[in-house]
Amino acid sequence: MAVYTAPLRDMKFVYRELFNGDDLQKLPGYGDFSPDVVDAVLEEAAKISQEVLFPINRSGDEEGCTFENGVVRTPKGFKDAYDQFTAGGWTGLGAHQEYGGQGAPKALNMLVEEMICSANMSFGMYPGLTHGAYNALKLYGTEDQKQLYLPKFADGSWSGTMCLTEPQCGTDLGLVRTKADPQADGSYNLTGTKIFISAGEHDLTQNIVHLVLARLPDAPPGIKGISLFICPKFLPKADGSVGPRNGASCGSIEHKMGIKASATCVINFDNAKGWLVGEKHKGMRAMFAMMNTARLGVGVQGLGLSEAAYQGGLLYARERLQGRALKGAKFPEKPADPLIVHPDVRKNLLTMKALTEGMRALVMWVSTSQDLAEKAATEEERTRHDDLIQFLTPVVKAFGTDIGFDNANIGVQIYGGHGYIREHGMEQYVRDARITQIYEGTNGIQALDLVGRKMTAHYGRYMRAFFHPVQAFIEENAADPKMEEIVLNLAKAFGRLQQAVGAVAQKGLSNPNEAGAASSDLLKLLSYVSVGYMWAKMAKLAFSKEGDDPTGFYKGKIKTARFYMTKLLPQTGALLSTILAGGETIMDLEDELFSAAVAA
């Protein structure tokens, strides 16, 4: 059956040992987050995730949300769990202290988010959307807007959404039709329909605050004519309490493949009162602040589901007796050996373990860089860390969600037929994980973002924030006998990445379709190298701790690093071959020939 125990030992390893997270305490505003406090936060987050959120994950999936007379009700137990969640201060963990939050480092907050996603991804959607709305208003809201809304977001009494998608537009937000008509009092009347709005209506909070993309009457066409508005479900009174109902209402909820306990809504705006956030026609700038946070968060969702699937698969492989080990019975006193003795099952488990732990390290690198991009002492250092975030955000989002889905599928495979049955809990992970590859920009969009924006920005400056430390690591450790195998494999893959980037850049200059055709493969190649770099760093650290390893933790790191380098990282060779083959065969088939066999 599905199980979850927060991987605190590994979380503390990547936070404290791999990326010196305790040094974040020295940054402005983080002084309260001593090692003891960080440990306490992680341990308490593990408790609420394991004891409160995980027990209602399956029941929430089976019951789902209900919609009746414009009211959405979350499944049994969700309201009580949310009340415990807010009472514990978890909605304000990453919020600034001036708005009633705790001001925790983003790196610490990411680890807590992972636990929530492992335990109950649907539940995590509600505070997760609020956190994104908080970030957008913190950056672009007026002082009055910040004072009104941010404390409510921080204490969890109000929640937030992001309202982008409409029936005729998803990725292409330049097609947005929702209108915003200016009023004499400085407000705007919003009219239009938004779809696929996560947490758009529910019974967990006193108020729901929508951040809405809409067009002003004088808006220029396309993406340059989009403005952002804040539109609460209930209009706030002068004292900040909940007032009369606004003209924003839920028309229906979607019946989905997964995350069924998260309400996905159609929201209708019928002359709903809203207020401009930021500048007119500059709404995408503010929305991208929210979206970039969300993209990293979605990558963490994939990581969380990957960890949960791994734990479930590992438990079953240890307990399920099937067949005998190929070299002879390992447990002759039992009627059969456990699944874990079989090479193919071990390969599956190691794949899950290597990808999950490698992605956790990559997320920690990026989230630590988020803290330093905001608070480092010099502008040069802040810029360097922000460049790394920009470059690796598509990797975290796309590869994090790909491994979440793939590992959930592997978990089902380890269970065999029992994995396909609901009572064991593994099939839910597959269904829940599938959406992560789609929302907040499909993984194909992440690939286009990589080749179209991130590689070319500032004459390749974003790339250099990643390429330079990887190259330096290879050069510094190539002569270390213990690291020889690991560094050699990383160097080969890194060389393939450099060759692929050069080829795509050259071909893309004359034919944009070439860059587009190679984009997904290039993103995956970069992802494997990124995680490979993390494993090389973890292996080096583990080798230094071999003499003090009573539990075998560091020994496990070294052996898993070797597996990743020899069994998973070589996939970069095939990806390079595919990239160098070019895009001709993709674009050559005439549109009408896609259906030629059907017509015949």
Active site residues: 440
Q: In sequence order, what DSSP letters do the residues of 4-31 get, joined into one string?
A: ----HHHHHIIIIIIS-GGGGGGSTT-T
385 CB contacts (<8 Å, ≥6 apart)?
A: 369, 370, 372, 373, 376, 465
Residue 520: closest CA among 509, 499, 504, 532: 504
Separation of alpha carbons 389 and 327, rounded Å? 48
Report which of 43, 37, 60 is spatially closest to residue 5, judged by C-alpha positions: 43
Tokens of 190: 């919003």
Alpha helices in 478-568 (DSSP H): 484-510, 512-544, 553-563
| Whole-number Å distance between alpha carbons of 496 and 501 | 9
Structure tokens at 163: 């309202």
Cβ atoms of residues 267 and 251 within 8 Å = yes
Please check whether residue 382 is in contact with residue 331, taking contact to mean a CB–CB distance below 8 angstroms.
no
Query: 90: closest CA among 65, 108, 76?
Result: 108
Q: Which of 219, 218, 243, 224 is nearest to 233 (CA)?
A: 243
Which 8-state DSSP code applies to residue 377?
Answer: S
Name the nearest CA neighbour of 553 among 533, 545, 562, 360: 545
559 Cβ neighbours under 8 A, 6+ residues apart: none
253 beta partners: 265
Does an H or E element contain 79, and which?
helix 78-87
The CA distance from 534 to 532, in Å, is: 5
H, E, C per residue of 86-154 = HHCCHHHCCCCHHHCCCCCCHHHHHHHHHHHHHHHHHHHHHHHHHHHHHHHHHHHCCHHHHHHHHHHHH
